[in-house]
Structure 1
Amino acid sequence: MFEMMRRSWIRVIAATLTAAATQWAAAEAVAPEALIKKVSGEVIEAVKADKAIQSGDVKPIMALVDAKILPHVNFQRMTASAVGRYWRQATPEQKTRLQDEFKLLLVRTYSGALTQVKDQVVEMKPMRSKPEDTEVIVRSEVKGKGEPIQLDYRMEKAGETWRIYDVNVLGVWLVENYRASFAQEIGASGIDGLITKLAEKNKGAAPTKG
């Protein structure tokens, strides 16, 4: 009897500690809107302070993107969503090539936008989510001179980490926008044709500085 009671209490204590640990981890996790606000603010301040980035110098731009943005993006999910149903038909090598070229395309596009940063600030919009949600949309506006720019993020939660898998600029979701053109290219030239097209576009868009 004593041994059974001892084991029961051990289970109760273990369950209590597990629940407490889960709550502590959740409390320490960064909320998605807080993460976006933090990263956006750090990127804008870094651009404002670096004349080389403002002039379009590729090396500091790429370094900033690598350090501040890429760790918070799920490029595999983003690429798979953009490629759509054809992703299942791709070989492991083709998936790697697609992800690498798509990532480079997005980084170069984002890098070009960074050179336009002057006096902008990021304003977060109210969240419409529940604490138990594992996928959310974080809405924001980039404000400066001229009209504000809508910039929203679709984010997923893996463990206690939030990562971006799609971006909405001025009402257009990036992944959905690319999905149609990618499907058209694959229909005409196959998956390898899309990879070649992306590689050519990235090569043609390569900055001359640096």
Structure 2
Amino acid sequence: MIGRLVSPVAAVLVVVAAFLSPAAAQEPRELIEELGGEAIRVLANEDASEEQRQARFEALFQEGFDVPLVARIVLGRYWRAATPEQQEEYVDLFYRYIVDTYTARLNAYSGQTFEVVGQQPLGDDEVLVKSLIKEPGGPALKVDWRVLTREGEARIVDVIVEGVSMAITHRSEFGSVISKTGNVEALLERLRAQTGQG
């Protein structure tokens, strides 16, 4: 899991900044600069209670996180093995799982900064934006953002932390759960338990 590889605050910055509501007219680099800055502002707001910050983060997820698309990417080949009812429940549980996992780390913020340092074209409509999350007195964390633009709207489709794709990491975790039993229901049961929906 990505939280085991990076500090709790870095994990929150990566995920929350990734799924803030993007502005369609922005260039990919400008988009990431704005999102990273907004994530820092939310984390650094000392006047907000923990509950208020959690509510704000969840609202931001709801605004900008394309839950059905990313959930389907993470489930990979097992998406086709699920019934329509299982697919619908899985998308809801995936959203709850992501929100619960990363908002639980909000209180660990201690002055981290965010900086975009470059970008690299990946295709006609996709760009890799490179950034650093800097820990006070510690090494900088390299974070790359895959930004896809379709019909004039820019969306982040993956975040790569020190070479580790978050989508692939979650896909591996979920796939391992399914492969042990051979059915998607096992994953749904695990997600229900982890999100308190069981």
TM-score category by the smaller chain?
A: 0.7 to 0.9
Equivalent pair of 1:73/1:165 in contact (CA under 8 Å): no
Q: Give the letter aligned to residue 168 of structure 2.
A: E
* Of 29, 38, 62, the match for 2:25: 29
Q: By percentage of residues, which structure has more strand?
A: 2
1:191 equivalent to 2:187? Answer no
* Of 83, 100, 112, the match for 1:108: 100
Structure 2 vs 1, CA of residues 63 and 133 (structure 1 numbering), >3 Å: closer, same or farther? farther
Matched ranges for 1:159-198 at <5 A: 159-189=151-181, 190-198=183-191
C-alpha displacement at 1:38, in angstroms? 0.7
C-alpha displacement at 1:170, in angstroms? 2.9
Matched ranges for 1:50-129 at <5 A: 50-53=46-49, 57=50, 59-129=51-121
Q: Give the letter aligned to residue 139 of structure 1.
A: K
Equivalent pair of 1:83/1:183 in contact (CA under 8 Å): yes
TM-score w.r.t. structure 2 length? Answer: 0.76
Computing the radius of gyration from Cα coordinates, the structure with the larger value is 1
Equivalent pair of 2:90/2:188 in contact (CA under 8 Å): yes
Give the Cα–Cα distance (whole angstroms) in 1 for the partners of residues 100 and 32 of structure 2: 20
* Of 94, 108, 132, the match for 1:141: 132
TM-score w.r.t. structure 1 length? Answer: 0.72
Structure 2 vs 1, CA of residues 112 and 33 (structure 1 numbering), >3 Å: closer, same or farther? farther
Once the two structures are superposed, residues 159-209 of structure 1 have per-residue CA deviations (whole angstroms, 9 ceiling, x without a partner) of: 1111122222232111111222212211223111101101212239xxxxx
The DSSP-based 3-state class of the residue aligned with 1:30 is: coil
RMSD: 2.2
Q: How many residues align?
A: 172
The DSSP-based 3-state class of the residue aligned with 1:193 is: helix
Once the two structures are superposed, residues 130-167 of structure 1 have per-residue CA deviations (whole angstroms, 9 ceiling, x without a partner) of: 7x722222221111311112222222212111112222
Give the Cα–Cα distance (whole angstroms) in 1 for the partners of residues 173 and 193 of structure 2: 15
Give the Cα–Cα distance (whole angstroms) in 2 for the partners of residues 112 and 147 of structure 1: 23
Structure 2 vs 1, CA of residues 32 and 67 (structure 1 numbering), >3 Å: closer, same or farther? farther
- Structure 1 gaps, min length 5: 1-27, 205-210
Structure 2 vs 1, CA of residues 158 and 63 (structure 1 numbering), >3 Å: closer, same or farther? farther
Structure 2 vs 1, CA of residues 127 and 171 (structure 1 numbering), >3 Å: closer, same or farther? same
The DSSP-based 3-state class of the residue aligned with 1:29 is: coil
Structure 2 vs 1, CA of residues 110 and 32 (structure 1 numbering), >3 Å: closer, same or farther? farther
Equivalent pair of 1:136/1:155 in contact (CA under 8 Å): yes
Equivalent pair of 1:119/1:144 in contact (CA under 8 Å): yes
Equivalent pair of 1:43/1:64 in contact (CA under 8 Å): no
Q: Give the letter aligned to residue 134 of structure 2.
A: K
Structure 2 vs 1, CA of residues 75 and 165 (structure 1 numbering), >3 Å: closer, same or farther? farther
C-alpha displacement at 1:114, in angstroms? 3.0
**Percent identity of the aligned residues?**
28
Give the Cα–Cα distance (whole angstroms) in 2 for the partners of residues 121 and 35 of structure 1: 16
- Structure 2 gaps, min length 5: 1-23
Equivalent pair of 1:39/1:69 in contact (CA under 8 Å): no
Q: By percentage of residues, which structure has more helix?
A: 1
Equivalent pair of 2:74/2:168 in contact (CA under 8 Å): yes
Structure 2 vs 1, CA of residues 185 and 192 (structure 1 numbering), >3 Å: closer, same or farther? same
